[in-house]
Structure 1
């Protein structure tokens, strides 16, 4: 896709892409998710770990964007540059599929929100909900096909609009703050099961990954930036703004409600919390904000999905078919495959016990391998001293940052448990068909020795995951 002056994005627009990508379904589900897992003390520890880990990961994206300006669509390109073609493909595929699943969670939450007012939508996975979501998928699909710049402009406008209900929620809860209630909830509250602090924190880790997804939004759109330095700046600015919002949204409900009451709310729990403070209009107000927010996030992630698939095809790591553009310079074939996959996952939610939680956790699991490879490349580059000639102090700093980011992503893989690693493998294994297709198009050797080992691990995980689903040891 050729870049021209009309397509260049400013620092403000790039920051909007980061905020727009991050502020989506997750932030509106935080009160209940944290209420089930922990009290304010555990939440503070969880946010400290997640905030520090994701900040360091954002810093890795920042210094890679500055030191490797030739690498576009960062998540995929960095993994390939650091570890080879097949790991690069796995990063691109995992990030793309995870983003598709994230888009499914948006539709589930939209219908769950409407279900509070129109019971026919239930918890977002009824037959009617699936039909309406399917219509929405294809309406957005054809809108994006009209032009990427038009879509990014819409995202910027939506990003501004959707922040307002969140700020109002925070302001009202500040005014209603009850210190005695917050203190009573602080160590875990009453009428909640006893769990260790480690388990409390662990239970929140995947949701923190989900709400931080999009931190790399500016990196994915680096080739549209007016100035390359804006990519790193937009990443840090977007991260700081959204982190403040998420911490407040998750912590303030403990000062207006018992933890047990928060844990028992339906999603989106932010609407239920505000309703308990100000009455029914609060639920309506937040629900409208959620619909705007999630639709905006869905638009941003549809763009990111297509962009990642298109870039991988452009560099011959996906089949050439997905490098095709339409007359509006939109990667049309990539967008078609993206929305077909989203459609299929939306249909599968009909059989899920808790569709939103499943899609949230699976999205997070799919994102961890790409994030780990990005952090690993940052560590590898600093260790080698590549681009650090005469900058020993910066090299040491970046090596420490990347090393901690690697440890953080490995911890998240452990915290998520075996179930979601196996579910991820079910997608990674068959997805390798796209890589084989692309390699044969170019008459290249498909796998090196190391690649064979990685593929066998993915294949064994896939078989184990399918077996677990069939015998009931893994439930969805």
Structure 2
């Protein structure tokens, strides 16, 4: 690997942290308070913390056990379960990253709007106005130019931005510890005052389930070092960066959400507009706190946009090497960046930004769609580690790690509910057409195995109720 693209441990860790700490953390207090009381919040974080740590360890174990597999999410699924499943994992992950970075741009300009908009004048609104569309598009193409200059250079800039955005989060945690009151935290312990959605109940288990997609979303990016593994100076750094990043981010997230509910009553936080962290900090220190968080949010989401663009560029390029994506994605520019994969990603972002402007969709809708697409790729990582541990008769610890990561991923699939699973089916079905085109381009014909035809049949069968659910919503 050329030194032009090599990334050290510090920069790899920063990429993992930057990927996870995007926009979601700034809305965590409101997002979690709206669906869970203090008891359910503790249980939800206990499940998530346990599961996400084992998912992170799974990535670290696989980096050690299978150093021959570059790209993580895609190559693990392909090596374990065949070409089509590998493609579906890559496709789902690429959609997650691409839709996610659109959400980053939308929420960044929504934050800018807090400085420019008034009740009488709307410039950026919720990041879905015409002027927001122009600004978001300009940023998208600026990031395109930055990434095109080289992977290592982009990672270096991301390292600096990560330091800038983590510091205010630590300030928030420190102040929240000082202002924390146990009586406020315990006042709505069971979340009895939460009004559930129509047809749902207000039980603790229901509240815990409702936290799951939120907690998963703020941890997407855990695979960052694995996706860029071929660019690591030392292969062992991939596992180290993943564990270091997950550990730091988990502590931050738990502290921010739990402490916030001890600063203000749950119902008040639930009624806040996002970024709700700004409102909580303003309560503690005054209006300057809101300004600080808003500026931090803008820096945060733009650096996350940069790191996720690196991942979204890498996955189609790796897929093209195995005939899963079109041949054009193999082409590198003079800086060894997959230029057509980068262009494809940026054009897709541009299209999504246009749709956001035309439909008026907000960041929240993009968050839910994006998160639904990461469920299958994460499940396949746990299953692949379990498969490798059984095949090679590895030590019990590897089997246990793979099993726990798989159970956690299955729990997330269950907690997500039927609606988002059906949405995933529609998007995966579209991907099969791209995979078929790529196979004909590389091999002159389709090369589906019997089991892969069965998967295609299941997707087509489920597509009908999925379409009904989509149009019905």
Report how far residue 216 of structure 1 moved: 0.9
Q: CA RMSD in A?
A: 1.6
| Matching of residue 131 in structure 1 with residue 134 in structure 2 | yes
| Matching of residue 68 in structure 1 with residue 66 in structure 2 | yes
Report how far residue 190 of structure 1 moved: 4.7
Counterparts of 2:115 and 2:203, CA distance in 1 = 38
The answer to whether the Cα contact below 8 Å between 2:38 and 2:258 also exists between their aligned partners in 1 is yes
How big is each residue's C-alpha offset from its partner over 1:407-432, in whole Å with a ceiling of 9 and x where there is no partner?
Answer: 11111111111111121122111122
Counterparts of 1:461 and 1:146, CA distance in 2 = 43
The answer to whether the Cα contact below 8 Å between 1:427 and 1:462 also exists between their aligned partners in 2 is no
Q: Which residue of 2 aligns with 1:211?
A: 218
Q: Which residue of 1 aligns with 2:116?
A: 118
Q: Which residue of 1 aligns with 2:295?
A: 288
The answer to whether the Cα contact below 8 Å between 2:18 and 2:307 also exists between their aligned partners in 1 is yes
The answer to whether the Cα contact below 8 Å between 1:189 and 1:259 also exists between their aligned partners in 2 is no
The answer to whether the Cα contact below 8 Å between 2:37 and 2:192 also exists between their aligned partners in 1 is yes
| Matching of residue 4 in structure 1 with residue 7 in structure 2 | no
How big is each residue's C-alpha offset from its partner over 1:401-457, in whole Å with a ceiling of 9 and x where there is no partner?
Answer: 111211111111111111111211221111222211221122253311111111122
Counterparts of 1:464 and 1:270, CA distance in 2 = 39
The answer to whether the Cα contact below 8 Å between 2:13 and 2:225 also exists between their aligned partners in 1 is yes
Report how far residue 396 of structure 1 moved: 1.3
Q: Which residue of 2 aligns with 1:27?
A: 25
Counterparts of 2:310 and 2:334, CA distance in 1 = 17
The answer to whether the Cα contact below 8 Å between 1:170 and 1:249 also exists between their aligned partners in 2 is yes
Counterparts of 1:314 and 1:308, CA distance in 2 = 10
Give the one of 367, 379, 384 matched to 1:360. 367
How big is each residue's C-alpha offset from its partner over 1:47-77, in whole Å with a ceiling of 9 and x where there is no partner?
Answer: 1111111111111111110010000001100
The answer to whether the Cα contact below 8 Å between 1:95 and 1:370 also exists between their aligned partners in 2 is yes
Q: In structure 1, the residue corresponding to 2:234 is in which secondary structure?
A: coil
Counterparts of 2:462 and 2:103, CA distance in 1 = 24
Counterparts of 2:369 and 2:89, CA distance in 1 = 15
Report how far residue 466 of structure 1 moved: 2.7
Report how far residue 127 of structure 1 moved: 2.6
How big is each residue's C-alpha offset from its partner over 1:294-331, in whole Å with a ceiling of 9 and x where there is no partner?
Answer: 10000000001001111111222211111111111111
How big is each residue's C-alpha offset from its partner over 1:241-286, in whole Å with a ceiling of 9 and x where there is no partner?
Answer: 0000011111111111111110011111111211122211111000
User: Structure 2: 5+ residue runs without aligned partners?
Assistant: 118-122
1:240-255 → structure 2 map (5 Å cutoff) = 240-255=247-262
| Matching of residue 460 in structure 1 with residue 461 in structure 2 | yes
Q: How many residues align?
A: 463
Counterparts of 2:267 and 2:359, CA distance in 1 = 25
Q: In structure 1, the residue corresponding to 2:344 is in which secondary structure?
A: helix
| Matching of residue 102 in structure 1 with residue 100 in structure 2 | yes
Write out the 4+ residue segments of structure 1 that deviate beyond 4 Å after TM superposition.
189-194, 351-354
TM-score in terms of structure 2 length = 0.94
Q: Which residue of 2 aligns with 1:392?
A: none
User: Structure 1: 5+ residue runs without aligned partners?
Assistant: 389-394
Q: Which residue of 2 aligns with 1:171?
A: 174
Closer, same or farther: CA 419–350 of 1 in aligned 2, 3 Å: farther
Counterparts of 2:271 and 2:356, CA distance in 1 = 22
| Matching of residue 266 in structure 1 with residue 269 in structure 2 | no
The answer to whether the Cα contact below 8 Å between 2:190 and 2:204 also exists between their aligned partners in 1 is no
Report how far residue 6 of structure 1 moved: 4.0
Report how far residue 187 of structure 1 moved: 2.9
Once the two structures are overlaid, the 10-residue window that deviates more, 28-37 or 343-352, is 343-352
Q: Which residue of 2 aligns with 1:433?
A: 433
Report how far residue 191 of structure 1 moved: 6.8
The answer to whether the Cα contact below 8 Å between 1:96 and 1:305 also exists between their aligned partners in 2 is yes
Closer, same or farther: CA 407–191 of 1 in aligned 2, 3 Å: closer
| Matching of residue 370 in structure 1 with residue 377 in structure 2 | yes
Q: Which residue of 1 aligns with 2:120?
A: none
